Amino acid sequence: MFKAPFYSLNGVVASEHPLASYIGVKVLEKGGNAVDAAIATSLALAVTLPHLGGLGGDFFALVEDNNGAIKFVNGSGYAPSKLSISYMNELGYRSMPLRGPLIISIPGLVDGLYQLWRIYGSIEWKKLVDFASKIARKGFPISKSLAKAISILKDELSKDYGWRATYLINGSIPSEGTIIKFPGLAKALELISEDPREFYEGDLARAITNYVNKRGGVLELHDLKHYHAEIGNAISIRYRDAVIYEMPPNTQGITTLHILSMLNNVELPISPKSSKRILELLKIAKVAYMIRDLFITDPRYMTISVDKLLSRDFIKWMMSLTKYVHRIHMNRRSTCCDTTYFAIADSEGMIVSGIQSLFYAFGSGIVEPLYQIPLNSRASDFSLNKSHINRLEPRKKTMHTLSATIIHFKNRKIAFGLSAGHYRPLLQAQIITNIIDYGMNTQEAIEFPRFIWEIDKDVIRLEEGLEINNLSNYGFRSIIQQYPSRLGVAAAVEIKPNGIKCGYTDIRGDGIAIGTYN
């Protein structure tokens, strides 16, 4: 039983929260374009799903304009200028912690959205931000996803006063459907609506740095003041009869393209459920992830160019390594981190493929209490190994797990993405091959059973319905998970050859797709 797609003659919004999708559609109905709707949708998600993303986190987007040009918005932040390997070693760390004030990178979401709006926006910035501030001030019924996250993480995160004061109601865990309000977050959004640089240079910046440093962090005002999101170009490859657009480094989007580039040399089995398909993907993914961890980081620190990494000779060399997959062992924590993705298409054919995150659920677990801003844990993904390409360095961006995709295939345009952390490239490759190799419609493709590879354990988690024959012969231990599991939550929008706009959301999540008929 699949969720029903939403078909529209005009525009569609697909997100992980019904209220965010509804607000995005309201913007489209008021004459806004896909980017206007993306600003309002992103900020509404920051309010309604604060464990999955927020003002203290990161934001990335691919935007295809009406003329078919695709741009990349990089709203990820760098490490604070005082954060270094030697500093962490002095504190007794040999690897980055997963929670706490020392793993907060400069939040990029606010400026990422603002830079996106400056290029493409058509509705006044303040009006777009006001949708989210009204939700935060008036309150909204708490979703199943947020209520569950608060319940699961209460004991771990309530040691932080800001987290406790923001998400517990009179000291208790709110249940699904309870009205929750964020008056501090509403005030933060009101300040941002007047001037988004308030987050980086005004009272918001001062409140964040003061609280983080009080908790033992090393943020400084100039770290925030000097931050600006970046605008660049997408990267792409041809896969079979399609062109796949992805996000360049510092994201791991290139790993998705590496998997697909190698699959171009492989004939997949007839059945999409077969263990042979799983093994082919795993063999290739092992090499792609190894290359990721050898070469991908902040592009200013990379030793090989993206063009070289996507060249025919490099892909040929990667394919030659697949015969040695039994010798590849990954030394990296692998987790399915919390993220939220949304996609929007407007009546003129503009598409936004957007994704935002705090990394882990509620990020660092540190929430600035005055403005109720949860702060990310993105710096936890740095290495403290001085010889590692993704080693921690001041003002450096870490290799980032967020990425999202736009596909051009047989006169169709599909924007899709999903939550998944380090597993994202493997899951994206499964969905793309579902569409291109197995001829699934987009709804079927995103809801088809999935599998992930826990890269540090050689454990394969598979949803019910997939074959597991012979996986153990290749050194993998299989764990079957009930369908639908939480192996990523996907969404997509599609523009069909006849111009119909379609929105899709995943049975694994709480989101909906809504469209306009103006």
Q: What is the pLDDT along the chain (518 residues), one digit of tens a residue?
A: 589 999 999 999 999 999 999 999 999 999 999 999 999 999 999 999 999 999 999 999 999 999 999 999 999 999 999 999 999 999 999 999 999 999 999 999 999 999 999 999 999 999 999 999 999 999 999 999 999 999 999 999 999 999 999 999 999 999 999 999 999 999 999 999 999 999 999 999 999 999 999 999 999 999 999 999 999 999 999 999 999 999 999 999 999 999 999 999 999 999 999 999 999 999 999 999 999 999 999 999 999 999 999 999 999 999 999 988 766 666 665 555 689 999 999 999 999 999 999 999 999 999 999 999 999 999 999 999 999 999 999 999 999 999 999 999 999 999 999 999 899 999 999 999 999 999 999 999 999 999 998 877 778 999 999 998 877 777 788 999 999 998 999 999 999 999 999 999 999 999 999 999 86
| Strands 179-180, 140-141: pairing kind | antiparallel
Q: How far is CA 179 from CA 146, 169, 175, 334, 509, in A?
A: 12, 10, 9, 35, 20
| Strands 451-454, 512-515: pairing kind | unpaired
pTM over 0.85: yes
- Residue carrying the six token digits 């990335």: 60
**Structure-block tokens of residue 7:** 């078909």
Q: Alpha helix locations (H) across 30-167?
A: 34-48, 85-90, 109-120, 125-138, 144-157, 161-167
**Torsion region of 125: left, alpha or beta (phi above 0 gives left; psi -120 to 50 gives alpha):** alpha
Q: What is the pLDDT of residue 183?
A: 98
Q: What is the pLDDT of residue 330?
A: 65
Rounded to whole angstroms, the Cα distance separating 336 from 367 reads 22
Distance, C-alpha 19 to centroid of its chain: 19
Q: Is-contact 63 387, C-beta < 8 A?
A: no
Rounded to whole angstroms, the Cα distance separating 391 from 243 reads 33
**Structure-block tokens of residue 191:** 């300040």
Q: Is-contact 375 439, C-beta < 8 A?
A: no
- H or E, element range at 432: helix 424-436
Rounded to whole angstroms, the Cα distance separating 49 from 43 reads 10
The secondary structure of residue 98, as a DSSP letter, is S
Question: Which of 109, 119, 121, 115 shows the shortest CA–CA distance to 44?
Answer: 109
Phi, psi (deg, nearest 5) at residue 470: 70, 0
Question: Please, which residues bridge with residue 409 across strands?
Answer: 242, 412
- H or E, element range at 379: none
Question: Please, which residues bridge with residue 452 across strands?
Answer: 461
CATH numbers and ranges of domains, the chain: 7-231+337-381 (no CATH), 233-335+419-515 (1.10.246.130)
Rounded to whole angstroms, the Cα distance separating 469 from 87 reads 49
